[in-house]
Structure 1
Amino acid sequence: MSRDPLDLGCLRLFDAAARHENLSHAAAALGMTQPALSYRIRRMEERLGLPLFERRHRGLALSPAGRTLHEAVRDSLERLDQATAAIAVQAETPVVRLATDYAFAALWLMPRVAGFRAAHPGIAVQIVASQELAGGPDGGADLAVLFGGRDEVGAGAERLIAERVTAVCSPAFLAEQGPFESPQRLGELPLLHLEGAGERRWYDWESWLAELGVTRRPGRPGLGLNTYTLVIQAALAGQGVALGWLGLVDGLLESGALVRAHPAELESPRGYWLVPGPGGRLPAVRQVADWIRGRFAAGA
């Protein structure tokens, strides 16, 4: 059991499941898949150390712990929604909530969002980042950019970019330790790992090297970090070699802050997807979605 606070996105998913008393119905209302919602609920229960629902043949019923949590969540979400609506009315500015993961938010969105604000001063974009976001926008998001496979994001998702991964490091690290003429040589270096709970949904060093015919020996030096932005910061600081997702690290490669440690580049059917939420047809949401599509289409 963890004492870390649950994030707001999880609480909205829990609230929907509690109100509908059925995971399939709740998932449809949230615009996400039933397996993704079930996974997020299980993660909440694992974190809290108690079941939140009693699973029944035709649906769900709140457990005693679930009823206690739902009383607090329902009242809190109602107050938050009322406050958000009041602020939006006062400002007379449409607010588009965009959900994504920390890596996309930090490495792709933040360097570009000022350009959107300059082109669309009448639209406010609220970026909601979560490390464990999967399946679709939560109940409070209008739009999402999510990483995964087609089966994880649903039929309405539009792939923006495929997962393409290469090995990257700082120029100083390459000059001191390189050149790395073979993938086998990479496996002997300090590797920077993105760590996370549960099933791997992206390339890690083991799977990336395995596709190149390399088995990394146990006990080799490395550094594990729990967010991709920390992995990239460690690579910039010359702490080792990281896996670089093309589409996220392009600016760092173009500036020379990072370099390719080896020319090998692998691609998978996974990638980043544009996923519409409940507010997907609103004009402001469509403008944000069109801007994201346009930037990827232009490679900018």
Structure 2
Amino acid sequence: MFSRFLFLLFVVLLAAVAGFQLRMSAAGKPALVTGSATGIGRQIAHQLAKEGCNLVINYPFEGLKEAADAVVQECKDLGADAIAVEADVTKPDQVADMMKTIASTWDEPLYICVNNAGITKDSLALRMKPADWQAVIDVNLSGVFYCAQASAKVMTKARAGRIVNIASVVGQIGNVGQANYSASKGGVIALTKTLAKEFGGRGVTVNAVCPGFIETPMTKDLPGVDQLLAAIPLGRFGQPEEVAGMVRFLCTDDASGYMTGHMFDVDGGIGIGV
């Protein structure tokens, strides 16, 4: 009887230690958040900083350096290490250079990649300029692929990693005036499922977060606000912190280690029934 008690006690202690290790697994590991100088990306960086990650604050051009540096300091104030890296996600060579910078900055391999960088160039489809179509596809879809591909080369070698792609509810339901944006985010959803199948056997999960209408600089000038709010069951726009909280959940092993290839809507219910 006593030996059985000792065995059960050992099992309980082992489970407790394992649980602790899972909860702490993101601490001290590099986490890349693309387009994180402002908006949702900034809030995601804050959430991961609270997990103790080493943050890579990515920004696309010199004009956002000051904002990126400010986010770096905010992450440090939260107790994390952080650096700012300028890289255009539409340029594979710049993405590769960013990966080299990450590898030379910390001993731990890249563990988290949040593909958040995105733009809008809205117009009715009949009036949409080819350049506006291509620009959105380049950043929102091709940029996600380039960063996921480069990150996965590191993660699959380490047999551990979390990739979270920021898609959108309009990638599921469409939206008037956003043919390019809807197509790009629908592509991200399909890409997420494919990468999850390809990388799953090597210890890497790939999921997508699909925000609805979130209060950011990119959505503040949307026309027909009253009509939009009427279509949202919760009757309000979401906050960047709410999207960031979902990303944090997906990047924490004990919460999401057995989740991959799925879409997680943070949309106030606007996508119900899709």
More helix by share: 2
More strand by share: 1
Q: Could you tell me the TM-score, scaled by structure 2's length?
A: 0.22
Q: Could you tell me the TM-score, scaled by structure 1's length?
A: 0.21
Higher relative contact order (CA 8 A, sep 6+): 1
Structure index of larger Rg:
1
